């Protein structure tokens, strides 16, 4: 052989994830050899020998050992003098008219240790001979080439690929059914065209699979062919309704010389092809689309694993195209073929999206307008609610980005010339319409957020799956993040409105922080009020209070009924907080201290009104509210108004305050 085989194999690029390539190459060679001899009774048998010394893999078929050797046998023309000469010549152009690159046999030694060939053939239609040789990884690559008398005058060529290399073994399928489907996929064009010889796979345990019968059962209808021209090149698209239960995805395959080279999922471009479809008889199927063209034959790489498409879309070479251009043309064809099966699917998807938006996500309602219909069409069908919410959120962000770009375009137009231009008026009107839509969407999103917080709070107040009630820190975290202050927490992360809308507008807030860490007042001790809210600051002076008011909020565990220790008494607890803050000094903007003075204090104790909590309220002379859902008292000595409020009242009042918004957005609330 006129090439350094070792170097040739070393430089051959064949991913370890494609260990079946040598088998595919042998099968295509066998098909072509059968065509060459002109027989109508072509037959190919593939035998798999397993390595029983290795650990087995448990499958539906039982334990399976890994494949070790593969033998491909056919009744084609064989290794006659002309064919063997081409085999021994690297990168032979012997079968270039068929698109052969002359390197398929090199993949044998890339994946296996050696290949043994035995071929009985008829030379020039007269004498019979039997040729035997080994193809091995040495400098010239050939061992023991000899020609003898044949054991029988019958065409028979076998290629034994021995010793599957370890790096490819882990990706080599063990199931005969899996191998069968991959072979059918790779050679599907031969099967569809009805010119495929009889191909049978044989396992070492005696089991066999006839691929022609398997294909006939799973592909019950003929493929639909469509042709188109792109940049002067003719393409043929074969779309097959494939009913194999093993096929889960709709795929598009780019082929070269009747061989599959590149496969991609159709759902990437056609979201409605996300899952299996059903025909008029209820049979489920996927579309297998095969694209072939002389252009693809010429552009396939030497290893036949990819195509050399134009990489730069903005560079114009006559007759050349980018991968994106070809993808778009194929997608149009496939969309037309799939239309009868996706129409109902799109209608159901549209109904699901509308129902989800109307009932649970009104912030996306403006996307239901006709001008946004195409965006909704791109959303896959059969998504969960969480997945659908994510897709709608992505679509809204795209709309917002386009909106900002439109605003930038408006700003670029000179004002003195733009005011009288119809184009400017139209652009500006559209901008205002979308600005209003996005504003409504943002408001709706916030209202949905409020409903979600109330639903979470309601759930937290019930008995949990563990049989106990939630801890107070869970309720606390829903209202405001713990162990942080207002300088660290974004406005959007706080839900003080649940307790009182006015609490959101404060100067400073500390949540579950030691008093010594308060940034607006010097207070001693390690007490940690759940919430300490310092309201709007006044002008600092020696005679005026630095704050209008201070609010203390204390959360107690739902249904807690034990307050036996004095320090655990929530009334005494909040009064201690108030006293320590009053004994401290305020800080001005430069960090200097100022006497706090007579600041009004408000304290809220949020809890369940258990018998023990009602007893504490009575013992401290609290007054019961008319609705029996709380208690209140003014502590004269400390100038503090204290209110004990049940969680049920907090939740109910919050629902009432927000009900008008929920009703307006048609959001049901218990």
Which segment of 148-157, 447-456, 633-642 scores lowest on mean pLDDT? Answer: 447-456
Q: Rounded to an integer, what distance in angstroms lies between the CA atom of residue 451 and that of residue 658?
A: 8
What mean pLDDT is predicted for residues 18-26? 93
Q: Please, what sign has the CA dihedral across residues 52, 55, 56, 57?
A: negative
DSSP 3-state of 546: coil
- How far is residue 249 from each of residues 226, 348, 668, measured CA to CA in Å? 21, 20, 39
Task: Give per-residue pLDDT as tens, 182-232.
Answer: 898 788 778 876 678 999 999 988 999 999 998 887 765 667 889 999 999
Other CB atoms within 10 A of residue 373 CB? 11
56-60, 62-66, 147-151, 246-250: segment of lowest average pLDDT: 56-60
**β-pair type (67-74, 112-123):** unpaired
State the residue for tokens 């039982």.
Answer: 62
pLDDT at 642 over 90: yes
First-last CA distance in the chain? 83
Q: Is the dihedral of CA 317, 323, 328, 334 positive or negative?
A: positive
Indicate the average pLDDT of the chain.
Answer: 81
Task: Quote the longest CA-to-CA distance of the chain.
Answer: 124
Q: Where are the beta strands (DSSP E) in 390-537?
A: 484-485, 508-511, 521-522, 531-534
Rounded average pLDDT over 477-497: 84
Share of the chain above pLDDT 90, in %: 29
Q: Which one of 137-146, 336-345, 526-535, 602-611 scores highest in mean pLDDT?
A: 602-611
Is residue 74 pLDDT above 90, yes or no?
yes
CA-based angle 545:550:554, to the nearest 5?
A: 160
Q: What is the CA radius of gyration of the chain?
A: 39
Which band of pLDDT confidence, cut at 50, 70 and 90, is reported for residue 494?
confident
Domain layout of the chain by residue ranges: 5-217, 219-359, 363-460, 472-660
Q: What is the pLDDT of residue 96?
A: 46
Provide the sign of the torsion angle of the four alpha carbons 461, 466, 468, 473, taken in this order: negative
Give the C-alpha separation, 359 to 668, whole Å: 8
CA distance 646 to 522: 32
- Written as six digits, the tokens of 368 are 């239901």
Rounded to whole angstroms, how far apart are CA atoms 277 and 341?
7
Given a contact cutoff of 8 angstroms between Cβ atoms, the answer to whether 640 and 578 are in contact is yes
- Greater pLDDT, 489 or 640: 640
Average of per-residue pLDDT across 16-41: 91
Query: Residue 503 above 60 pLDDT?
Result: yes
Helix (H) or strand (E) holding 409: helix 385-412
Residue 459 has pLDDT above 60, yes or no: yes
Q: What is the mean pLDDT of residues 502-510?
A: 85
State the average pLDDT over residues 438-451: 71
* Contact criterion met (CB below 8 Å) for 549 and 502: no
Q: What pLDDT band is residue 99 in, cutting at 50, 70 and 90?
A: very low
pTM as predicted: 0.47
- Find tokens 């859902």 and name the residue: 629
Report the b/e string of 411-422 with b at 16+ CB within 10 A. Answer: eeeeeeebeeee
Instruction: Look at residue 389 in the predicted model and tell me its pLDDT.
Output: 84
Q: When comparing pLDDT for 543 and 383, which is higher?
A: 383
Which bin fits 209, alpha (ψ -120 to 50), beta or left (φ > 0)?
beta
CATH of 5-217, one of 3.40.190.290, 3.90.1640.10, 3.30.565.10, 1.20.120.530: 3.30.565.10
What pLDDT, on a 0 to 100 scale, did the predictor assign at position 220?
A: 55
- pLDDT confidence band for 391 (50 / 70 / 90): confident
- Give the β-pairing of 531-534 and 508-511: antiparallel
Give the per-residue pLDDT at 543. Answer: 41
In terms of pLDDT, which residue wins out, 182 or 468? 182
Residue holding tokens 């397993």? 50
CA distance 243 to 277: 10
Crossing angle for the helix pair 211-218 and 176-186, to the nearest 10 degrees:
80
In CATH terms, are 5-217 and 472-660 the same topology?
no
**Whole-number Å distance between alpha carbons of 612 and 564:** 9
- Lowest mean pLDDT of 142-151, 184-193, 586-595, name the range: 586-595
pLDDT tier at 383, thresholds 50, 70, 90: confident
Give, as one character, the DSSP assignment of residue 223. Answer: P
CATH architecture under which domain 472-660 falls? 3-Layer(aba) Sandwich (3.40)
Query: What pLDDT shows up at residue 229?
Result: 94
pLDDT of 542 reads 44
- For residue 123, is pLDDT > 90? no
Q: Read off the tokens for 615.
A: 């007893």
Q: What is residue 1's predicted lDDT score, i.e. its pLDDT? A: 43
Long-range contacts of 526-532 (CB under 8 A, 24+ apart): 527/576, 527/577, 527/580, 529/553, 529/554, 529/574, 529/577, 530/472, 530/476, 530/554, 530/555, 531/476, 531/479, 531/480, 532/577, 532/581
Phi and psi based region of residue 208 (left: phi greater than 0; alpha: psi -120 to 50; beta: remaining): beta
Taking only the tens place, the pLDDT of each residue in 511-564 is 999 888 888 887 776 788 999 998 865 444 444 456 788 999 999 988 888 776
Q: Contact at 8 Å (CB) between 258 and 190?
A: yes
> What pLDDT band is residue 235 in, cutting at 50, 70 and 90?
very high
Tell me what the mean pLDDT of segment 340-363 comes to. Answer: 81
Tokens standing for residue 444 = 């709706």
Return d(Cα 298, Cα 257) in angstroms, integer.
Answer: 9
Half-sphere exposure of 510 (CA within 13 A, CB side): 20
Dig out the tokens for 199 from the structure: 């191909």
């Amino acid at each position: 052989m006129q090439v350094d085989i070792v170097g040739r194999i070393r430089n051959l690029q064949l991913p370890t994830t494609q260990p079946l390539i040598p088998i595919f190459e042998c099968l295509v060679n066998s098909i072509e050899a059968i065509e060459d001899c002109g027989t109508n009774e072509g037959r190919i048998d593939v035998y798999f020998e397993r390595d029983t010394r290795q650990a087995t893999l448990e499958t539906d078929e039982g334990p399976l050992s890994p494949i070790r050797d593969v033998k491909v046998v056919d009744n084609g023309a064989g290794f006659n003098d002309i064919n063997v000469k081409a085999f021994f010549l690297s990168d032979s152009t012997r079968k270039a008219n068929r698109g052969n690159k002359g390197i398929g046999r090199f993949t044998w030694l890339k994946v296996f240790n050696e290949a043994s060939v035995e071929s009985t053939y008829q030379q020039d239609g007269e004498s019979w001979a039997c040729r035997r040789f080994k193809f091995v990884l040495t400098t010239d690559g050939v061992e023991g080439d000899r020609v003898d008398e044949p054991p029988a005058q019958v065409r028979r060529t076998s290629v034994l690929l021995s010793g599957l290399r370890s790096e490819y073994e882990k990706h080599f399928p063990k199931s005969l059914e899996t191998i069968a489907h991959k072979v059918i996929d790779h050679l599907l064009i031969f099967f569809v065209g009805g010119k495929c010889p009889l191909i049978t796979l044989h396992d070492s345990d005696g089991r066999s699979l006839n691929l022609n019968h398997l294909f006939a059962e799973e592909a019950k209808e003929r493929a639909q062919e469509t042709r188109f021209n792109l940049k002067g090149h003719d393409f043929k698209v074969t779309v097959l309704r494939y009913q194999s239960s093993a096929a889960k995805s709709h795929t598009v395959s780019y082929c070269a010389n009747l061989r599959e080279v590149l496969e991609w999922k159709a759902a990437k471009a056609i979201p409605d092809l996300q899952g299996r479809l059903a025909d008029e008889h209820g049979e489920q199927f996927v579309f297998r689309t095969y694209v072939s063209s002389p252009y693809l034959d010429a552009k396939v790489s030497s290893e036949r694993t990819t195509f050399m498409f134009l990489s730069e879309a903005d560079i114009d070479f006559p007759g050349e195209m980018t991968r994106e251009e070809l993808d778009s043309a194929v997608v149009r064809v496939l969309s037309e073929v799939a239309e009868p099966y996706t129409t109902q699917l799109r209608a159901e998807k549209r109904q699901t999206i509308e129902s989800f938006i109307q009932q649970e996500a009104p912030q996306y309602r403006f996307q239901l307008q006709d001008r946004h219909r195409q965006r909704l069409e791109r959303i896959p069908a059969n998504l969960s609610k969480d997945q659908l919410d994510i897709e709608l959120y992505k679509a809204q962000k795209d709309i917002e980005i386009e909106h900002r770009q439109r605003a930038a375009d408006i700003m670029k137009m000179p004002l003195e010339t733009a005011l009288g231009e119809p184009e400017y008026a139209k652009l500006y009107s559209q901008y205002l319409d979308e600005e209003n839509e996005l504003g409504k969407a943002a408001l709706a999103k916030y209202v949905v957020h409020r409903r979600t917080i109330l639903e979470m709070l309601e759930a937290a107040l019930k008995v949990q799956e563990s049989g106990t009630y939630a801890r107070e820190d869970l309720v606390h975290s829903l209202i405001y993040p713990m162990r942080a202050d207002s300088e660290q927490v974004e406005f959007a992360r706080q839900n003080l409105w649940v307790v009182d809308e006015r609490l959101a507008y404060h100067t400073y807030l500390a949540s579950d922080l030691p008093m010594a860490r308060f940034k607006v007042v010097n207070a001693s001790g390690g007490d940690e009020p759940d919430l300490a809210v310092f309201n709007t600051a006044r002008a600092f002076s020696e005679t005026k209070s630095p704050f209008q008011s201070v609010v203390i909020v204390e959360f107690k565990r739902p249904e807690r009924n034990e307050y036996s220790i004095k320090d655990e008494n929530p009334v005494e607890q909040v009064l201690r907080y108030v006293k320590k803050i009053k004994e401290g000094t305020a800080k001005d903007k430069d960090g200097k201290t100022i006497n706090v003075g007579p600041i009004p204090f408000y304290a809220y104790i949020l809890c369940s009104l258990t018998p023990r909590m009602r007893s504490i309220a009575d013992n401290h002379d609290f007054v019961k509210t008319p609705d029996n859902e709380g208690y209140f008292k003014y502590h004269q000595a400390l100038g503090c108004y204290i209110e004990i409020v049940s969680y049920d009242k907090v939740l109910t009042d919050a629902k009432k305050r927000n009900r008008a918004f929920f009703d307006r957005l048609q959001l049901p609330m218990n």
